Structure formats: C-alpha cells, structure tokens
Amino acid sequence: MKNIFSMMLIYMGLITVAFAQNTKPTEAAEKAFRQQFPNAKEVKWDKENKHEYEASFVLDGKKGSANFSASGEWLETEMAIPQSATPQAVLDGFKKAHTGATIAAIYKIETKKGQNYFEIEYKVKGGKTKEAKLASDGKLM
C-alpha cells in the first residue's frame, strides 16, 4: 500500500512539473514580449498569477525575465548584470548591510512604474542563498 501511495505522489509530482513547464501565455503577452525582445533566445513561459505571465530568456548571453499582463502590458524586466557593471553605491550598500556574504548574482530590475533597483542574490555561512533589494543609491529597500 505504501508503494502504491508513493508511486502516485511521484506521478502527480511529475505531471505538475510537466504542466508548469508548458505554460502558454496569451497571444497579447507573447506578441508584446517579441516586440520588446525580438532577439531573445531560450524563452520559457510561466504564469505568475491569474493575470500575469513571466518569460525567462537569454539575451546577448545574459539571463533575464520579463513580466507581462494577460492583455500584453509590460510590467517588469529583470536582467542579470556583472558585478563590474553594478554601481559602486549599490555594492557598498550591500557590503555594509551584509558583511561577509558572498555575491552569487546581481540583477537590474526595471518596472513599468519607473522603479529601477538592483536585486542581489547572496550566500551566507552555511551556504544558504538569500536576496537583497537595493536602490541605485545603495539603500536597502
């Protein structure tokens, strides 16, 4: 009985993963994405919520993602950037707030509301990964 239950759980998990990876955006969202990112490669879509889609992609060798409403309105873009392209104030603010942490990745975030900030993924002792959001002036958000 335990084996049957375990097999059913595994099967349900595999089906969930398969469907999650095959999210189809609305035609409007996909069209808006292609207009804004015509050279994007390796595009994979996910559904953020009932009315929002996220496209993960590679553009000019950099990983990124962009969110669009079901009606095709651009909402947010997140692009990986090298540490060397990160403003010094952001790096200084991060180092001050997270002494001893190791930076794993840095993303520049741009939103439709005009908010631009940086998201830094970092590792702490023990290897746990965390995120910090900082404004361009280096202040934590």
- Report pLDDT for 7: 39
Residue-by-residue pLDDT tens, the chain, 141 positions = 444 433 344 444 444 444 445 589 999 999 999 999 999 999 999 999 999 999 999 999 999 999 999 999 999 999 999 999 999 999 999 999 999 899 999 999 999 998 899 999 999 888 899 999 999 999 999
- Report pLDDT for 125: 84
Q: Indicate the pTM of the whole model.
A: 0.75
Backbone Cα Rg of the chain = 19
Instruction: Report how far apart, in Å, the C-alpha atoms of 128 and of each of 108, 118, 140 are.
Output: 22, 20, 20
- Report pLDDT for 22: 56
In the chain the domains, ranked by start, together with CATH numbers, are: 26-135 (3.10.450.360)
Whole-number Å distance between alpha carbons of 40 and 87: 25
